[in-house]
Amino acid sequence: MDYSPLISLMRTLALDAGAKIMKVYAAPDFEVRSKSDESPVTEADEAADAIISAGLRAAYPDVVLITEEQADSHALKASTFLIVDPLDGTKEFVKRRGDFTVNIAYVENGIPQRGVVYAPAKGRLFYTRADGQTVEETGDLLREKPGPCHEIHVSSPDDSALMVVASKSHRDAATDAYIGKYAVRDMTSAGSSLKFCLLATGEADLYPRLGRTMEWDTAAGDAVLRGAGGQVVHFDTHAPLAYGKAGWENPFFIAYAPGVTLKK
């Protein structure tokens, strides 16, 4: 895979999808439906998915494409694939809280190699360059011309005073109990894959997830975090989180900056 054109395309598609999402977000009202798993879906999810899927299939017709909004793709099996969550954090979108993202990733042999996470309501765009280093692009975020980019890196954490980030919509007693095993300086909450990005920028040190997630929820954020020096591991074994699993469902996991002493 030649990563340069792939990253350029993923960036452009994320911006295009984000622009469509924001048009729906700005409307006085929009329809919210429930999927078979009772999770919400809106016209913004579907419109963003159509934009991204069309672009990726045109450019990479021979690469398997997995996307949350196309149930037929969930029956596919692959270890190398493109994977998309066109609107991660639909609950945050519906509540107009801004913590939603466009996620696009390329997974090779079970490892998220490159990814883009775009938070259109916050004007934040993160992606891995062709060389694997993660950057945050700033400025006007024009689709035709990339703006200034600066490399981002995880923190050098202090085990005696950790900054922890947790889910806004999925925080529970088990998560709180696990966080209680650490010496925590402060906590913040964030929706969608922004939690991975806060780790990647050094704004947080630790993100435990003791709840159900799918690979399209995490692959892009995982790639962004890896490219900034972070890690995502299985909650129980602390083995690196692998992708291409049957059913596309993740185990519980821990995302962190190396230097954090992980607890069992």
- Report yes or no on 167 lying in a domain: yes
- Residue-wise pLDDT tens digits, 148-207: 999 999 999 999 999 999 987 677 889 999 999 999 999 998 988 999 999 999 999 999
Residues 129 and 54 in one domain: yes
**Residue where a domain terminates, one of 151, 170, 194:** 151
CATH of the domain at 103: 3.30.540.10
85 assigned binding-site residue: yes
**87 annotated as belonging to a binding site for a ligand:** yes
> Same domain, yes or no, for 95 and 173?
no
Residue 263 lies in a domain: no
Give a yes or no: residue 157 inside a domain. Answer: no
76 annotated binding-site participant: no
pLDDT of residue 172: 84
User: CA–CA separation, 177 vs 208, rounded Å?
Assistant: 11
Question: Is 249 one of the annotated binding-site residues?
Answer: no
pLDDT of residue 36: 67
Do residues 142 and 12 share a domain? yes
pLDDT tens digits, residue range 50-72?
A: 999 999 999 999 999 999 999 99
Q: How far is CA 209 from CA 71, 217, 257, in A?
A: 24, 12, 15
Q: Is 199 annotated as belonging to a binding site?
A: no
Nearest to 54 by CA among 12, 5, 92, 24: 12
Q: Are residues 177 and 112 in the same domain?
A: no
Q: Let me know if residue 261 belongs to a domain.
A: no
Q: Are residues 130 and 202 in the same domain?
A: no
Distance (Å, whole) CA 97 – CA 101: 12
Tokens at 70, concatenated: 């196309």
136 and 189, same domain (yes or no): no
Number of folded domains that form the chain: 2
Q: What does the pLDDT read at residue 38?
A: 61
Q: What share of the chain in percent tops pLDDT 70?
A: 98
**Considering the domain boundaries, does residue 43 fall inside one?**
yes
Look at residue 133 in the predicted model and tell me its pLDDT: 98
- Tell me what pLDDT residue 35 has: 76
Q: In angstroms, how far is CA 260 from the centroid of its own chain? A: 21
Question: Are both 140 and 168 inside the same structural domain?
Answer: no
CATH number for the domain including 193? Answer: 3.40.190.80
- Given 151, 170, 189, the domain boundary residue is 151
pLDDT score of 90:
87
Same domain for 23 and 120, yes or no, is yes
> In the predicted model, is pLDDT for residue 7 greater than 90?
yes
**Neighbouring C-beta atoms of residue 129, cutoff 10 Å:** 15
Proportion of the chain above pLDDT 90, given as a percent: 86
Binding site annotation covers 89? yes
> Do 48 and 139 belong to one domain?
yes
pLDDT in tens, 226-249: 999 999 999 999 999 999 999 999
Same domain assignment for residues 167 and 147 = no
Alpha-carbon distance of 91 to 189, in angstroms, equals 14
Res. 39: pLDDT tops 90: no
pLDDT at 158: 96
CB atoms within 10 A of CB 139: 12
Q: Which domain holds residue 184?
A: 162-256
Band of residue 28 on the pLDDT scale cut at 50, 70, 90: confident
**Is the pLDDT higher at 147 or at 30?**
147
Residue pair 64/114 in contact (Cβ under 8 Å)? The answer is no
- Out of 86, 121, 151, a domain closes at 151
- Does any domain span residue 136? yes
Residue 156 included in any domain: no
The answer to whether 140 is annotated as binding is no
* Residue 225 and residue 123 share a domain: no
Q: Do 131 and 220 fall within a single domain? A: no
Instruction: Tell me, yes or no, whether 141 lies in a domain.
Output: yes
